[in-house]
Amino acid sequence: MENQTTISIDNIKSSKQKRISKKKDARQLSIFIKGFILPLIIIAIWELAGKYELISATLLPRPSAIFTTFIELAASGELTGHLEISLWRALGGFALGGGLGLLIGLLVGFNQNMEQTIDPTLQMLRTIPTLAVIPLFILWFGFGEASKILLIAKGAFFPLYVNTFLGIRGVDSKLFAVAKVLQFSKWKQITLLILPAALPNILLGLRLSMGTAWLALVAAELMGSSEGVGYMIMDARQFSQTTVVFVGIIIFAVFGKLSDSLVKLFERKLLRWQDNYQG
């Protein structure tokens, strides 16, 4: 009798978990579909406007023409080659700049002397536009890959640095009073208190840093490059190949969105403890 009761309770729990899981999956599917509604409406209006010649095909080609060009470039292998080069540049620049931004953000956030020594200079450098330093990077590092990766690294550095620093300094001081009562060591305060509390800001910095890396990639590929999606766009512009320009722009948009979604996935996994307003 007791075993039957236990089995019955387990079955009820299992069915309840299945219902919750189904509701969660349905909600995620609904959110995914909603995200496509506006783009599909815009594409439909755009296609119809091009079909009935309400807009110039040279200035704004139809989505169907852009898709055809994408298939042709992909089939020829040209697009794959440019995309591979751009991905390596973006990832290399982001790893270098983002890694340094995170490291220095942690050092400055934890140490007031480091803040007073380093932060004023970094804040001054942060305000210099990326395009303004391109001539210097060409003079210092030439037209090779080093100058391009370093330019992307410059763009990726500051969002992660600033948000890491602000995240650490924004930890509620009341939490330290609790840590004192619990007799936390300095290491426990850092790992169990400061870093988890600063994690939302750090992940936000990661998202902004990845986005900036993609923006800096375009500027980097203007520096005498003969390969990459940015070069493909500039080359197509010279020959008025608007469809190729749109293919390049859409590629940047898609990969930017994918990288942002990847970080958002980490946010959902790592910040489950947060109780946020859902709208």
Average pLDDT over residues 236-242: 85
Q: What is the pLDDT of residues 133-187, one digit of tens each?
A: 888 888 888 878 888 899 999 999 999 999 999 988 888 777 777 777 777 777 8
* Cα 238 from Cα 190, distance rounded (Å): 54
* Cα 93 from Cα 148, distance rounded (Å): 8
DSSP code of 60? S
Q: List helix spans (H) across the chain.
A: 2-51, 63-76, 78-110, 112-126, 134-141, 145-169, 173-181, 186-188, 195-220, 229-238, 242-270
pLDDT at residue 159 in the model = 93
Percentage of residues in the chain having pLDDT higher than 90: 21
Model confidence band, residue 91 (pLDDT cutoffs 50, 70, 90)? very high
- Cα-based angle 125, 131, 137 (whole degrees, multiple of 5): 75
**Residues in CB range of 167: below 8 A, 6 or more apart:** 109, 197, 198, 199, 200, 201, 202, 205
pLDDT at residue 277 in the model = 47
Residue boundaries of the structural domains of the chain:
1-55, 63-270
Write the DSSP assignment of 78-103 as a string of letters.
Answer: HHHHHHHHHHHHHHHHHHHHHHHHHH
* Cα 66 from Cα 60, distance rounded (Å): 10
- Cα-based angle 61, 62, 68 (whole degrees, multiple of 5): 95
Burial of 192 (0-12, 13-18, 19+ CB in 10 A): middle
Q: Taking 50 as the threshold, does the pLDDT of residue 242 lie above it?
A: yes
Q: What is the pLDDT of residues 112-121, one digit of tens each?
A: 898 889 999 9
> Angle, to 10 degrees, between the axis of helix 242-270 and the axis of helix 78-110?
40
Q: Taking 90 as the threshold, does the pLDDT of residue 96 lie above it?
A: yes
**Fold category of 63-270 in CATH:** MetI-like fold (1.10.3720)
Percentage of residues in the chain having pLDDT higher than 70: 87
Q: Taking 90 as the threshold, does the pLDDT of residue 104 lie above it?
A: yes
* Cα 78 from Cα 69, distance rounded (Å): 11
Q: What is the pLDDT of residues 24-80, one digit of tens each?
A: 666 777 777 777 788 889 889 988 988 888 887 778 889 899 999 999 988 888 888
Q: Taking 60 as the threshold, does the pLDDT of residue 199 lie above it?
A: yes
The whole-model pTM stands at: 0.78
Q: Taking 90 as the threshold, does the pLDDT of residue 100 lie above it?
A: yes
Taking the mean position of all CA atoms in its chain, how far away is CA 24?
A: 25
**Average pLDDT score over the chain:** 82
Q: Taking 70 as the threshold, does the pLDDT of residue 236 lie above it?
A: yes
